[in-house]
Amino acid sequence: MKAGSNLEKVFESGEFAVTAEIGPPQSSNPEPLTHHAKMMKGSADAFNLTDNQTAVVRLSSIASAAIIMKEGIEPVIQMTCRDRNRIALQSDLLGASAIGVRNVLCLTGDHQTFGNEKSAKSVFDFDSVSELYTFDRLRTEGVQSGGEKIEDPPKVYLGCAENPFATPYEFRAMRLAKKIAAGADFVQTQAIFDMDMFESWMDEVRGRGLDKKVHILAGVIPMKTAGAARYMKNKVPGMIVPNYIIDRMKKASDPKEEGIKLCVEQIETLRTVKGVHGVHIMAVMWEEMVPRIVEMAGLMPRPAPK
Amino acid sequence: MIVAERKPLDEIAEMIAPFRKVAVIGCRSCVAICLAGGEKEVNMLVSAMKLKNRNEGREQEFDGFVLERQCEKEWVKEVEDRILASDIVLSMSCSLGAQTVGDMYPHKIVVPGLNTKMFGVPEEQGVWSEKCLGCGDCMISTTGGICPIARCAKSMLNGPCGGSSDGHCEVNLDIECAWYAIHERLKLQGRLDLMETVRPPKDWVPSHSGGRRVLVREDAKLTQHQKRGEEVVE
Amino acid sequence: MADRRPKVVGFCCERHAMDSSIFSARSGRTYDTGLRIIRVPCSGRVDGMHILNALEEGADAVFVLGCLEKNCYYDTGSVEGRKRVEYVKSMLSEVGLEPERVEMFNVSSSMAWKFPEIVSRMTEVARRLGPIGSGGGDGR
């Protein structure tokens, strides 16, 4: 055991894991977090707290983690390299570990031009790979980026993200290999709509034996409308949504129900893919649907935390 | 070269408004090549300012001229009398030229007529693109000759981020993804193995993060004797 | 042209533009204006600097006349001319002057009727706006 988190234990037990995302509010009010934590408790093994996602200022992911932990659910804090240099990143990692956070997702981060503080000076001292590399050395050897040895290294399970649908496609499995070499224990993928493309990425992942070295959580997003599907296809860089999915959403008499059904079907398909060890559900602004989706996908009850 | 762009004319007009005699000094180096501060641009700026003044009934005197290189003291020294005769200097050079004049004549108010944008190259007529950030530790031998520090919006060290879309950057779809370009170049050269190497955190000390940089070459520096113009006596 | 107002300066390329002005003169047209024609080898040779200098020297309006864009003697010369004119217009706007004081037109040699039209149009603009700094022309 590297960190002893619930997520790590579920992976180690060989169970099909479930993680879900909680977006912290754009306010100092902890209530929405508590509300989501209560509502989603028991529907996933750990919950991602996004780090100022799309560069929009939100309640911090580490503070959010502290809040949801009070409700007895396990956080995965996302840590991007956009806003913090190596001093702040390492400091926050120590702090997160100190308050009991055991899962950390290392990300480069969306560029600030997408958010609501476009004038910000970007940091990008690290990228996600050098962040993983540094955090891994910090936890295993107790050595800081600058070389100083520290006492009581952080106990964290390290994750990363990968997008099989971003160019150059042929580099995407190699990029995962780099992240594993740098220290990643698990990976959450970008939302998958194009199963064929995902399969061909997984072929290469398996070909390189990466599924044996890292736990792969396949990403899914339940959609509310055909418009949302079109938006993701056309406006979100590095996202591929096949037309038949948009058509299906468009023709549905109850698009929300159809979106849920589609998501459940996707999870069922992903479960059959060799090397996939779990799913990551990103129900952005629709968190209350997560328990139902997990239930419908036949993934309830979740293993009890030990 | 250093690529610059003229400031909006109203901003320039506002900076020089309180002064009567304005020396407008261009530069024949980089900023002339990038059509921002050469002879023609100085001439046009002076014309435009005179027209504005005529239209608004304001009086100002302009003395526009161009130096070979405004960042070199020797060239600036040659026009000392014209600088000293002015009430304000409007530098149509990059910030380096403006600061050279300002440092040489600290009593003189020197304002910039250009915004210094980047180290860039002319891609085609009228198009310049950034290709270096002056990080002080060039790494392009390992990236197919393409700099990810300057050409990637996130200065990624280990390959493209998840926003690389059809080979374009998520921040601006008109701009190529630097790491996509690196990948294609290395593929062409049969060196894709370089993509697989994990690059640890970059040492930013040689960059501006290590503090202001001053480069000293002892072999090129003048000796005290030389500076005083004395003959070296054995 | 001494101090006849309004003063209009026309930069005319020596190919189609000059031809059209000559043909129109041959047909007996005269202009009630201080028109000054500056013959240039190509409208693409006209720089923003020349246009601004003309205004600075007292022109109330300036036009550049080149070949038709798809039939330019120097292929893309009149396209270049148009870009320069557009740039000068943007500079004029930035300093609070009327961009319509400067215009680009295209003619072919055979369009003798168009030349007087262009001159009238620019004369009208110059008359309406008046000399720069005069506080306005007839139109105000």
pLDDT band, very low/low/confident/very high, at A94 (cuts 50, 70, 90): very high
In a domain, C97, yes or no: yes
With a CB cutoff of 8 Å and minimum separation 6, the contacts of A159 are: A76, A103, A104, A105, A106, A184, A185, A186, A187, A188
Q: For residue A247, is pLDDT > 50?
A: yes
Contacts of C134 in chain B (CB under 8 A): none
Supply the ipTM of this predicted assembly.
Answer: 0.92
Contact B158 A162 (CB under 8 A): no
- Does A234 reach chain B within 8 Å, measured CB to CB? no
Contacts of A36 (CB under 8 A, 6+ apart): A22, A68, A287, A288
Q: Do chains B and C touch (3 or more CB pairs under 8 A)?
A: yes
- Whether residue B43 lies within 8 A of chain C, CB to CB, comes out as yes
C94/B44 Cβ within 8 A? no
User: Measured between alpha carbons, how far is A261 from C67 in angstroms, rounded to an integer?
Assistant: 65
Tell me which chains share at least 3 CB pairs under 8 Å with chain C: B
Residue C2: pLDDT over 60: no
For position A106, what pLDDT does the model report?
A: 98
- Mean pLDDT of the A63-70 span: 98
Give the pLDDT of residue B228.
85
Give me the number of domains chain C comprises. 1
Scanning B66-95 for CB atoms below 8 A from A yields: none
For chain B, list the domains and their CATH numbers. 2-118 (3.40.50.2300), 134-210 (no CATH)
Q: What is the pLDDT of residue B191?
A: 97
Closest residue in chain C to residue B13, using alpha carbons only: C95
Place of tokens 């409700």: A71
pLDDT at C98 over 70: yes
Provide the percentage of residues in chain B whose pLDDT is more than 90.
Answer: 94
Q: Give residue B231's pLDDT.
A: 65
**Residues of chain B above pLDDT 70, percent:** 98
In which band, very low, low, confident or very high, does the pLDDT at B232 lie, cut at 50, 70 and 90? low
Q: What is the mean pLDDT of residues B95-117?
A: 98
- Can you give the C-alpha Rg of chain C in angstroms? 14
Instruction: Cite the beta strand spans of chain C per DSSP E.
Output: 7-13, 34-40, 61-67, 102-107
Inter-chain CB proximity A111 and B153 less than 8 Å? yes
Q: Among residues of chain A, what percentage have pLDDT more than 90?
A: 96
pLDDT of residue C26: 83
Helix (H, G, I), strand (E, B) or coil at B129: strand
- Summarize pLDDT for A249-299 with one digit per residue, the tens: 999 999 999 999 999 999 999 999 999 999 999 998 899 999 999 999 999
Q: Which residues of B touch A162 (CB under 8 A)?
A: 162
Confidence of residue B84 (pLDDT cuts 50, 70, 90): very high
Q: Has residue C1 been placed in a domain?
A: no
Q: Which of C53, C96, C133 sits opposite B47 (nearest CB)?
A: C53
Taking only the tens place, the pLDDT of each residue in B44-55 is 999 999 999 999
- φ, ψ of residue B8 to 5 degrees: the values are -55, 140
Which chains does chain B touch, 3 or more C-beta pairs < 8 A?
Answer: A, C
- Classify residue C134: in a domain, yes or no: no
Show the domain range for C76.
7-129
Among B163-172, C3-12, C37-46, C90-99, which is the least confidently predicted range? C3-12
Q: Report, as an integer, the average pLDDT of B197-226.
A: 93
CATH number of the domain that residue C32 is part of: 3.40.50
How far apart are the C-alpha atoms of B81 and B13, rounded to whole Å? 24
Q: Which domains does chain A have, with CATH numbers?
A: 6-296 (3.20.20.220)
What is the bridge-based pairing of β-strands A75-80 and B109-112?
unpaired
C8: confidence class by pLDDT, cuts 50, 70, 90: very high
- Cross-chain CB nearest to B200 (options A110, A114, A133): A133
pLDDT at B155 over 90: yes
Contact across the interface for B47 and C49, Cβ inside 8 Å: yes
Q: What's residue C119's pLDDT?
A: 93
Residue C1, pLDDT above cutoff 70: no
C137 in any annotated domain = no
* Average pLDDT for chain A: 96
- Check residue B192 and give its pLDDT: 96
Among A63-72, B208-217, B225-234, C128-137, the minimum mean pLDDT is found in: B225-234
Distance CA B203, CA A178 (A): 20
Question: pLDDT-based confidence at C139, cuts 50/70/90?
Answer: low
Q: How many CB atoms lie within 10 A of CB C39?
A: 12
Q: Is residue C36 part of a domain?
A: yes
